[in-house]
Copies of this chain bind each other. A is one copy, B any other.
């Protein structure tokens, strides 16, 4: 069956949702939280079906862990619904206003995109995360989750639709699409109905979207993040920051993949750093200059400086000065998050201004690049693009704007 019927219904629903009051949008979130609590059993039952099927086809432990829901995790989901309910409405904000020379009253007002198509991995919690951010920002959404989470996603979507019905909002405002792969290709062509695509997933998905989408998209790209330890850095503190940025949660995009060290302190810093990182048996892939100060390191190959390891593994490079570090980052980074550890104000300012990344830090771990940590109250992903949205994306990033102009019969001379 073609998806066109879904697309048409979503477009219609989006037009009603765009006009919904903040009260109405908060009401649907309130009801959703209640329904998730009430129907926890049904959700867990559906999730069990996914888990059983997943075990049968031999999904690995990490995959099954991401797929699994339990009471605790559902409570976490309910909390996030309540949090988004509390956030302020990003729609209908007057961003600018002025009266033109001819008396026209001009306002630049935030508005929803319309219909957002989201393609994501087999994590059922994402179904709710995405739906609530879209609803709060007045957007209808078409959800294409991973096929391994299909039973869970169907159950959750049904609950969202119950909440929509009870809040007197259009039910097709949130729809789960057939999780087959060909759905993605069809969705990316539906320019007439879909206003924005958000792909969440590995480099394969992002590449497919880049090459095939007829619709603008907000992609969360890979994070090859760097920390540069300058010669004036407090080395003890630097060890703690590097350890945190690499090892506190190596599987996330804001963890670092490479440390760059000023040659003046390499001999002193690298052994200290290695000692600490060995607590987590972190593998070090170092350039020649660095390698001589490491006991356990291996010689890095060129590709190691362009790899997102997402693991207890890190590239190490020694440079002559901060200027070489900045150039190296701009060449090898993915424009995500980078940090300088230094006491030199000039070096810090140069780094913060010249490094071309979404988030640039001085004297801090890179692990804070995150919608919640940044105080945005939510997150739908982290953009490494410079277009429309950069860094953590939340409610505001799901809106666009229009100009509203009121006159008294003005014509142009």
Q: Does A94 contact B (CB under 8 A)?
A: no
Which residues on A are within 8 Å of B, measured CB to CB?
15, 18-19, 98, 100, 102, 104, 106, 113-114, 195-196, 210, 214, 216, 234, 237, 240-241, 244-245, 248, 330, 348, 352-354, 356-365, 367-369, 373-375, 385-388, 390-391, 400-412
**B409 in contact with A363 (CB, 8 Å):** yes
Chain B residues, Cβ within 8 Å of A404: 352, 360
Known contacts A196-B387, A244-B412, A364-B409; 20 further A-B pairs (Cβ under 8 A): A15-B356, A98-B375, A100-B374, A216-B386, A240-B411, A241-B411, A352-B406, A357-B402, A360-B404, A361-B406, A363-B406, A363-B410, A364-B407, A364-B408, A364-B411, A368-B410, A373-B412, A387-B387, A387-B400, A390-B403
Q: Provide a sorted-by-A list of 14 A–B residue pairs whose CB atoms are within 8 angstroms.
A: A15-B354, A18-B353, A106-B375, A216-B387, A244-B411, A248-B411, A356-B402, A358-B402, A359-B403, A363-B406, A363-B408, A364-B408, A368-B410, A391-B403
**A364 in contact with B405 (CB, 8 Å):** yes
**B409 in contact with A368 (CB, 8 Å):** no
> In this complex, which of A15, A362, A386 has the most chain B Cβ atoms within 10 angstroms of its Cβ?
A386
C-alpha gap A216/B361 in the complex (Å): 26
Min distance, Cβ A355 to any Cβ of chain B, angstroms: 9
Chain B residues, Cβ within 8 Å of A104: 364, 368
**B244 in contact with A365 (CB, 8 Å):** no
Q: Which of B361, B402, B406 is the one whose CB lies under 8 Å from A405? A: B361
Q: Is the interface of A mostly helix, strand, loop or mixed?
A: mixed
Chain B residue at minimum C-beta to C-beta distance from A11: B330
Min distance, Cβ A241 to any Cβ of chain B, angstroms: 6
C-alpha gap A407/B405 in the complex (Å): 44
Q: With A114-B356, A400-B390 as given contacts, are A248 and B406 in contact (CB-CB < 8 Å)? A: no
**B387 in contact with A388 (CB, 8 Å):** yes
C-alpha gap A60/B245 in the complex (Å): 64
Q: With A357-B402, A403-B358 as given contacts, are A412 and B367 in contact (CB-CB < 8 Å)? A: yes
Min distance, Cβ A90 to any Cβ of chain B, angstroms: 14
Chain B residues, Cβ within 8 Å of A113: 386
Chain B residue at minimum C-beta to C-beta distance from A331: B192
Chain B residue at minimum C-beta to C-beta distance from A370: B412
Min distance, Cβ A219 to any Cβ of chain B, angstroms: 11
**A391 in contact with B402 (CB, 8 Å):** yes
